[in-house]
Structure 1
Amino acid sequence: MSLVALVLVFSAAIAHAGWNVLAHGVSRAGYPFLWWGAVSSTLVWIGVVPFTGGIGTGDVGGFVLGVLVSSVLHVTYMVVLQHGYRVGNLSTVYATARGTGPFLSVIIAMTLFGERPAPVALVGVAVVIIGIVAIGFVDRAGSPAPAIPDSLPAPGRRRIDPGLLFGLLTGVTIAVYTIWDAFVVRAHGLSPVAFMVGTAAMQIPFYSFAVRGRWAALAAFGRLEWRRILAFGILSPLSYILVLQAIRIAPVALVAPLREVSVVLVSLFGAFVLREGRPAWRVGAAAIVVARIALLAV
């Protein structure tokens, strides 16, 4: 993996961790936050499109198809993730999703794109994924059990932890949108900025349907949380734009796991700033990930 790609993905991880830290708590507001996030992402970045090559070298039809499918996949990802947070343990869902997504992305990329990273790089990928999952389960051990909705069976009759189930489903959606976006950007020569703006804009109708009838509350939410919404609008698209740029010059099998280093950064923030539990375990798991990143540069 080239140094340029490594810098792009690590910068993306920093941007992703940054908006998660800045939007800590408010992102759990659900659809109102997602609606404002899509709107702010579109408005902040649409003015940059003319200065970054327009839609790229591809045709308009390919661009439209690409952003339409991608927007559906990204909305599906958010809906599944939000539902997982409602019925399962937050850390279990997050850890399972962030471990499963990169793992599946690696397998699919090697199968569909014929990518063959060096063996030592694949070892690095495996260790990074293990470290990310370990961080999540450190959190799980110290987190209270979620309330059980009436629609779910009692613990004695539950066959599978819903956090694991929806974490797995979220990981599948991460892998699918990662592979689709990589394919479209590469095959149609699309600009990552234009593609990200188009995808964000196409999500607005979906979220508008979800918040229908609550426009006054939505406006009040925007006035109250505009700083965090703006931070999301800047940093969230930036993180994925950098990932898409890296995908153009590096294998998806390496980019997908490395972007999840953001989990490490957020976990360290939780340990040292928010004073969350088990700091030694968090730092240890983070050290495993960081120590193996060098293998991905091979």
Structure 2
Amino acid sequence: MSVGALLLIIISAFMHATWNYLAKRSNSGYAFVWLYMLVSTIVYAPLVVGMFIFSKIHIGWVEMGFILGSALIHLAYSLTLQKGYRIGDFSLVYPIARGTGPVIVAIAAVFIFDEKITATGITGIFLIVSSIFMITGGLQRLRKSNRIVPLIYGLVIGVIISGYTLFDKGAVAVFLIPPLLLSYGSILWQLVFLTPKAIRNWTKIKYDWLKYRKEAIGVGILNPLAYILVLTAMTFSPVSHVAPVREISILIGTFMGTKLLAEGFGLQRVIAAGVMLVGVILVALT
């Protein structure tokens, strides 16, 4: 992997952890999601216009179907993520969601793409599962506390992440839909889906804009940009190299939660995130 690609991925990882940190700080729900979707739609519209001007883009029923399907999965992800952040620690929900996603993808790939899981992959899965227990404080603390619900949310988000990963991979790799078109179209449809509810609850929209304006703008810019940087790195670097390095965001996000949000199990969760990162790398390398 070149130095340029490595820098792009590391910057992307910081952006991904940062926008999730901002989403956690908002402590909001659908209104905040609608606001940052609106910001993304406005900010990245010139890129999409330029793509249509300088490239030959075909949008048929297949492309529209994948864009719509991607939008539905990503909308479920965005709303579930906000709910998870409202009830659980960022340093718990974020690493579990990001760590379990690759495991589910790896297992699903065995059945969908007829891939094989090697001993290295099995070791990685074991490390990820072990790190989840470390992050939650172990079975005893899990039973005696309110961490089980955030844990479930983290796992559900991980399932959704694996869903849109497999779905979007098929869209861009098999049906050759341009990534920017897929991403922007998905954001646009999500905005459309949420707009009727936003109009009915306009007071909540105005409240969130006044209170969480900076967070909404930050997420609206960083969320798509982090993904665009990864896609750029993939154009001149192997995906098998990009994917594991990208998951350094697990360690960054956990550190943000324990230090910036003063959440519990600081050092223990950072160590657990490091173990999870190693597990994700092993799964990716398999």
Question: TM-score, normalization: structure 1?
Answer: 0.74
Residue 217 of structure 1 aligns with an amino acid whose one-letter code is K
Equivalent runs, 1:55-204 vs 2, <5 Å? 59-61=58-60, 62-84=62-84, 93-114=93-114, 120=120, 122=121, 125-126=124-125, 129-130=128-129, 133=132, 136-138=135-137, 145-146=145-146, 161-204=148-191
Query: What SS does the aligned partner of 1:71 have?
Result: helix
Following the alignment from structure 1 to structure 2, what is the Cα–Cα distance between the partners of residues 95 and 113? Answer: 26
Query: What SS does the aligned partner of 1:169 have?
Result: helix
Change (3 A) 1:276 1:230: same
Partner of 1:31: 30
Contact 2:71–2:187 (CA under 8 A) maintained in structure 1:
yes
Change (3 A) 1:268 1:214: same
Report the number of matched residues: 280
Contact 1:71–1:199 (CA under 8 A) maintained in structure 2:
yes
Query: What SS does the aligned partner of 2:109 have?
Result: helix
1:74: Cα distance to partner?
1.0
Following the alignment from structure 1 to structure 2, what is the Cα–Cα distance between the partners of residues 78 and 183? Answer: 21
Contact 1:19–1:231 (CA under 8 A) maintained in structure 2:
yes
Query: Which shows bigger deviation, 84-93 or 209-218?
Result: 84-93
Query: What SS does the aligned partner of 2:264 have?
Result: coil
1:73: Cα distance to partner?
0.7
Structure 1 unaligned runs (5+)?
148-160
1:30: Cα distance to partner?
0.2
**Cα displacement string for residues 54-106 of structure 1 (whole angstroms, at most 9, x for unaligned residues):** 79776312432221000011112234445556677776654543333221111
Contact 2:91–2:269 (CA under 8 A) maintained in structure 1:
no
Contact 1:56–1:190 (CA under 8 A) maintained in structure 2:
no
Q: Does residue 208 of structure 1 match 2:192?
A: no
Following the alignment from structure 2 to structure 1, what is the Cα–Cα distance between the partners of residues 221 and 258? Answer: 25
Following the alignment from structure 1 to structure 2, what is the Cα–Cα distance between the partners of residues 139 and 196? Answer: 38
Partner of 1:48: 47
Contact 1:55–1:190 (CA under 8 A) maintained in structure 2:
no
Report the identity percentage: 30
1:222: Cα distance to partner?
1.7
Following the alignment from structure 2 to structure 1, what is the Cα–Cα distance between the partners of residues 75 and 249? Answer: 21
Following the alignment from structure 1 to structure 2, what is the Cα–Cα distance between the partners of residues 131 and 52? Answer: 45
Change (3 A) 1:170 1:288: closer
Partner of 1:12: 12
Partner of 1:265: 252
Following the alignment from structure 2 to structure 1, what is the Cα–Cα distance between the partners of residues 233 and 177? Answer: 13
1:281: Cα distance to partner?
1.6
Following the alignment from structure 1 to structure 2, what is the Cα–Cα distance between the partners of residues 278 and 65? Answer: 44
Partner of 1:227: 214
Partner of 1:156: none
Change (3 A) 1:94 1:18: closer
Give me the CA root mean square deviation. Answer: 3.9
Following the alignment from structure 2 to structure 1, what is the Cα–Cα distance between the partners of residues 54 and 36? Answer: 22
1:256: Cα distance to partner?
5.8
Query: Which shows bigger deviation, 99-108 or 126-135?
Result: 126-135
**Cα displacement string for residues 231-281 of structure 1 (whole angstroms, at most 9, x for unaligned residues):** 1111011122334556676457x7666544322102112334444333332
Give the structure with the larger helix fraction. 2
Change (3 A) 1:269 1:94: closer
**Cα displacement string for residues 28-72 of structure 1 (whole angstroms, at most 9, x for unaligned residues):** 210110001111111111212244577977631243222100001
Change (3 A) 1:292 1:79: closer
Change (3 A) 1:24 1:86: closer
Question: TM-score, normalization: structure 2?
Answer: 0.76
Equivalent runs, 1:231-270 vs 2, <5 Å? 231-245=218-232, 250-251=238-239, 259-270=246-257
Change (3 A) 1:14 1:91: closer
Contact 1:80–1:166 (CA under 8 A) maintained in structure 2:
yes
